[in-house]
Amino acid sequence: MVKPIPDNVKTCLAELTAAQQVTLRGYIGSLRAEIKGLEEEVRTINDPDPHAHYHGHEKCTGKSNLL
């Protein structure tokens, strides 16, 4: 799970201009999204169910729970 941005980093970002903040926050956001994708990929590598994927730590096989 991706950890939240530390307070000291938020403080540093707050000292930048608005344009600089947008640039860095966008970059940080893209890195966080990439980390989440890689974490899911690692979880599914050894999973015997080829349709399984994860929402956080919860496994989802795409099968409906409806009767």
- pLDDT one digit per residue (tens) for the chain, 67 residues: 788 999 999 999 999 999 999 999 999 999 999 998 898 888 778 777 766 666 666 777 666 555 4
Of 10, 7, 6, residue with least CA distance to 25: 10
Residue 65 pLDDT: 53
Closest CA to 43 of 59, 61, 62, 31: 59
pLDDT value of residue 63: 63
Distance CA 18, CA 21 (A): 5
pTM given for the model: 0.66
What are the extents of the domains in the chain? 7-60
Tokens of 40: 């899911």
In the numeric block, the tokens 């990439």 are attached to 34
